[in-house]
Amino acid sequence: MVSRESSFLFNNLLFVLLCFTVLWGTWFPKISELVQGNQVTVGAPFYNRVAIPVALLLLILTAVGPLLAWRKTSLESLKRNFMWPTIGAIAVAIFLMLTPQSWGSAFGLKPWRDISNLYSLMAIALAVLVTLTVASEFYRGGRVISKHTGQGMFASMVQLTHRNTRRYGGYIVHFGVAVVIIGFAGSAFNQDKEMEMKTGDQMTIGPYTAICRSSTEDDNPNYFSQWAVLDIYKGGKPLGTMTPERRFYHASRQTSTLPFIRSTLNEDLYFVFEGVNQDNGRPILRAHLNALVMWIWLGVWIMLGGTILALVPNAPAPVRIPAPVRLGQPHPAPVATGD
Amino acid sequence: MLQALLLCAAVFAFLGAGDPATRFTEIGHQMMCICGCNQILLECNHVGCPDSDGMRNELMAAVSRGDSDSLVEQSFVQKYGPTVLAAPTMQGFDRAAYIIPPVALILGFGLIVMVVRSWKNRPAPAIADGLRPASGTELEQFRDQARKETDL
């Protein structure tokens, strides 16, 4: 039961379950109408409740799967492979709980307060577990090559990867998935705020303060535009100016908003020019503070890099290392690399 | 002593639950905008939406009055219909929405256990004359040797 084959089976079960959940959620309004005579809405809260635990189980398999042996994995092997990554993941989880929330969105997590904090903490801890298991694979393989060839660790890891690009490219894709999951974990801390702002008015969202310096409008043959000029501060320190805009295109009679985004590793801050109060002409601005969004983009790029690496052909000639005489065999057989 | 324990439990249970802004955000994310945009009430960015502002004001008024979460939801359902709630409730047939996926997981898990057991009980593949498969202690010795030669 504890083998790579069974981990693949469990992995497929979870993916099929996610697909079934979407199918069930899509059909349920009609089923409800058939059974009880009224439709219900099956929206985001249902999928969050059902799909997030399944996704966390998938993340566990992502960490565990590559370190399981084919056919059978012994308990000793499990302990050897997973002890340090598990200790590292638990240490990171404890660190995130103990740090102050002022450090950023992913810090100061209190899982006993609400379920979204718990899910975020589990997602980040499991992503760290995946990262450490991937790193341990590179480290162990690189150490063996380094010992036999005398090369430095980094060169050994490069050689290791080039010998089996599909396997190690796949590990990099797994690492990319872990980074994306950290980005998703930030959605529990998203904030938004809408406010009518006249010149001089101030809006606070998270650690940021926006002061409306002015708002204006312009009309040209292509579009009519309205925009606001906001000075942004964080902890009293000025960060710059943001100018969210709204346009109305004359030809197509379509309205389009051009949000102004300030993106950092910790969070994305963006302002949207929602409209204008018809009574007093003041702009209505909506601020969004979305945590850890850049991690999603980084993770996707890492996955893309891992995929490209996996498509690179393996190194042409494997290094032949004579093996010692085996039990019962008269001639030593050379050891070649493979999957 | 018992009263002190009960008080502590109540404090922990209601920690953070009383803040109107937090309740407004939590309840607002459990409801749908009824204008037909198919978005969560507090996330409706439908330009010129005729309904979301009114619904948000109603929600804020109910939360400020101190109405409980279930009372707020009931009043919205009575006014706008059951589709105003963004997810099925935990009552009556609606519970089936949440029960079926874990049941499917348990059934799938059982199926996998059966499949893995049938793989284990498969007869050994035919082997050419003169060779014998390694098994038992000898197989463990070979595994140990492989591990030592590829690891430190």
Could you tell me the pTM of the whole model?
Answer: 0.77
Beta strands, E only, A78-207: 191-196, 202-205
**Is residue A49 a part of any domain in this protein?**
yes
- Beta carbons of A179 and A305 less than 8 angstroms apart: no
- Given pLDDT bands bounded at 50, 70 and 90, which one contains residue B128? low
Strands A237-242 and A283-291 turn out to be: unpaired
CA distance A338 to A320: 12
Predicted pLDDT of residue B100: 95
B contacts of A32 (beta carbons < 8 Å): 88, 93-94
- Over range A273-277, report the average pLDDT: 87
Give the pLDDT confidence score for residue B129 in this predicted structure: 66
Domain boundary among A39, A69, A99: A69
| pLDDT at residue A1 is higher than 80 | no
Beta carbons within 8 Å of B89's beta carbon, 6+ residues apart: A40
The verdict on residue A305 lying in a domain is: no
| Average pLDDT of the segment spanning A32-53 | 91
The answer to whether residues A98 and A111 touch, using CB atoms and an 8 Å cutoff, is no
User: Is A110 an interface residue toward B (CB < 8 Å)?
Assistant: no
Q: Do B40 and A275 touch (CB under 8 A)?
A: no
Residues in A closer than 8 angstroms to B105, CB to CB, are 13, 17, 54
Mean pLDDT within A13-42: 93
**Any domain includes A318:** no
Average pLDDT on A121-127 reads 93
Q: Which two tokens stand for residue A52?
A: 């997030």
What is chain B's length? 152
ipTM of the complex: 0.71
Residue that finishes a domain, picked among A292, A308, A325: A292
What is the token pair recorded at A277?
A: 């109060």
Q: Which run of H or of E encompasses B69?
A: helix B69-80
% chain A with pLDDT above 90: 55
CB contact under 8 A, A13 and B109: yes
In a domain, A157, yes or no: no
Residue ending a domain, choose from A69, A90, A106 = A69
Does A235 map to a domain?
yes
| Total structural domains within chain A | 2
Give the residue with greater pLDDT, A155 vs B138. Answer: A155
Weakest-pLDDT range from A98-112, A156-170, B86-100, B134-148: B134-148
Asked if residue A336 is part of any domain, the answer here is: no
State pLDDT tens for residues A14-24: 999 999 999 99
What is the span of the domain harbouring residue A228?
A: 191-292
**Is A9 in CB contact (< 8 Å) with chain B?**
yes
Tell me how far CA of residue A117 lies from CA of A113, A176, A187, B4, in angstroms: 7, 22, 10, 28
Residue A101 lies in a domain: no
Best of A50, A144, A270, A273 to disrupt the B interface (most B CBs within 10 Å) is A50
Residue ranges, CATH 1.10.8.640, chain B:
2-87
In CATH, the number for domain B2-87 is 1.10.8.640
Contact of A278 with chain B, judged by CB distance below 8 Å, is answered with no
CB contact under 8 A, B93 and A35: yes
Mean pLDDT, rounded, of chain A: 87
Are residues A41 and B32, on separate chains, in Cβ contact within 8 Å? yes
Query: Chain B residue with minimal CA distance to A276?
Result: B48
d(CA A210, CA A116): 28
